[in-house]
Amino acid sequence: MDGVGAAGSVSVLLLSLAGSTVRLAAPLVLAALAGLYAERSGVVDIGLEGKMLAAAFVGAAVASLTGSAALGLGAGIAAALLLALLHGIAAIAAGGDQIVSGMALNLIAAGATPSLASAWFGQRGKTPPLPSGARFGPIALPLAQSLSEVPIVGRIYTTIISGHSLPVYLAWLAVPLTAFVLARTRFGLRLRAVGESPEAVDAAGLSVARLRFAALAVNGVLCGVAGVCLSMAQGNGFLRDMSAGRGYLALAALIFGKWRPWPVLAACLLFAAADAVQARLQGVVLPGIGSVPVQLIQALPYLITVAILAGFVRTARPPRALGKPYRPMQ
């Protein structure tokens, strides 16, 4: 192969890897931002996984029954909101252990989704494949077609930026929005305050519980979109355990990103890139190494997570009141 051809195929490979990274990052970004709202308000959320799974199932089930992607999205968000509310009742209102209730929600979602899928659709833990109108298909951004011939910029625009589904665009919009809300709005200031020093927020006459419930409401909506993204945009219907640990990866990305929106996005992109590369590596024979066992490649995102948590967590400082139920002096 001549030099120009090799360089061309490498750039095509890189472009398509970047495109899949952007796509695969979306549910992680949404879930990690959901965790960001909860944890900046002082509520640990290990239940991202369960909320995504519930939303993925309910969204796909409703979309499959009604044929409407919009109704599916709404139902998915409602399911995640319901679980977020339950988490709030246990963790905020009752002052229970936040990790325990998050883990409980994960188990409830892991058990309830395949039960209901089997009972309603008779397909052993999944929903039937969605017809095209009930899914979120790729949306080409304006000018994508005409710019596709422009070297570099045009190619990047058409392959990486354009041609994603609605939830993916929502994920990318959510990052600057969250950064703005946290840094520049009254709600954001109060959210950060209630996570650092609930006593001060209480003394200022604001309700700690109400602020934390509000944070969990945002959390539920974002988890809902994340779940719907899995089953109705990237997948074609719900599969048993389809969140496959992404909720926990998102939590690790949140810690790695030090609970700040832009670094969290970077962390999610790292995990997504690992995921995109692992999809390409399967069955490939690497020069000098031979073929890598498929199981090792599949375990890659989890190994990277552990390595990151081992290497970088020391430098991160969580919100001061994280995980502590607020109990005013009596």
Partner 1 sequence: MRRLCRALAALLIPAASLVVALSAVAGLVLIIGEDPGRALLTLVRGALGDPEGIGYTLFYATDYVFAGLAVALPFRAGLFNIGGEGQAALGGLGATLVVLTLGDAPASLILAAAVVAAAGFGAAWAFVPAVLQARRGSHLVITTIMFNFIAAALMTWLLVEVLIAPGQSALETRTFPSALWLPTLADLTAGTRFDAGEAPLNPIALFALLAAAIYWVLLHRTPLGYEIRAAGLNALAAQAAGIWVPRIILLAVCSGGAFAGLIAINELFGAQHRLADLPAGAGFAGIAVALLGRGHPVGVVFAAVLFGALNQGGAALSFDMPAVTRDVVTVAEGVVIFICGMLDGVVRGHIGQSLRTLWTASARQAA
Question: Which parts of this chain interact with partner 1 (CB under 8 A)?
Answer: 46, 86, 89-91, 94-97, 99-101, 103-112, 114-116, 118-120, 125, 245, 248, 251-252, 255, 293, 295-296, 298-299, 302-303, 305-306, 309-311, 313-314, 325, 327, 330
Q: How far is the CB of 299 from partner 1 (least distance, A)?
A: 4
Give the nearer residue to partner 1 in terms of CB position, either 104 or 160. 104
Give the nearer residue to partner 1 in terms of CB position, either 65 or 89. 89
Give the nearer residue to partner 1 in terms of CB position, either 49 or 228. 49
Q: How far is the CB of 316 from partner 1 (least distance, A)?
A: 9
Return the axis-axis angle of helices 69-88 and 208-228, rounded to nearest 10°.
140
Give the nearer residue to partner 1 in terms of CB position, either 179 or 316. 316
Q: 């949404």: which residue's tokens?
A: 30
Q: How far is the CB of 240 from partner 1 (least distance, A)?
A: 9
Q: Which residues in the chain belong to E strands, given as ranges?
A: 285-286, 290-291
Rounded distance between C-alpha atoms, residue 118 and residue 123, angstroms: 5
Give the nearer residue to partner 1 in terms of CB position, either 54 or 232. 54
Q: At 19, list the tokens.
A: 């495109």
Q: Kind of pairing, strands 290-291 and 285-286?
A: antiparallel
Q: How far is the CB of 37 from partner 1 (least distance, A)?
A: 19
Q: Which of 107, 110, 131 is nearest to 56 (CA)?
A: 110
Q: Which residues in 7-72 belong to E strands, given as ranges?
A: none
Q: 């009604």: which residue's tokens?
A: 66
Q: How far is the CB of 107 from partner 1 (least distance, A)?
A: 3
What is the Cα Rg of the chain in Å?
21
Rounded distance between C-alpha atoms, residue 80 and residue 114, angstroms: 16
Give the nearer residue to partner 1 in terms of CB position, either 83 or 160. 83
Q: How far is the CB of 110 from partner 1 (least distance, A)?
A: 6
Give the nearer residue to partner 1 in terms of CB position, either 128 or 154. 128
Q: In terms of residues, how long is the chain?
A: 330
Cβ 79 vs Cβ 46: under 8 Å: no
Q: List b or e across 263-272, with b for residues whose CB sees 16 or more CB atoms inside 10 angstroms.
A: ebbebbbbbb
Q: How far is the CB of 39 from partner 1 (least distance, A)?
A: 12
Rounded distance between C-alpha atoms, residue 253 and residue 316, angstroms: 12
Give the nearer residue to partner 1 in terms of CB position, either 97 or 196. 97
Rounded distance between C-alpha atoms, residue 22 and residue 268, angstroms: 10
Q: How far is the CB of 109 from partner 1 (least distance, A)?
A: 8
- SS3 state at 164: strand
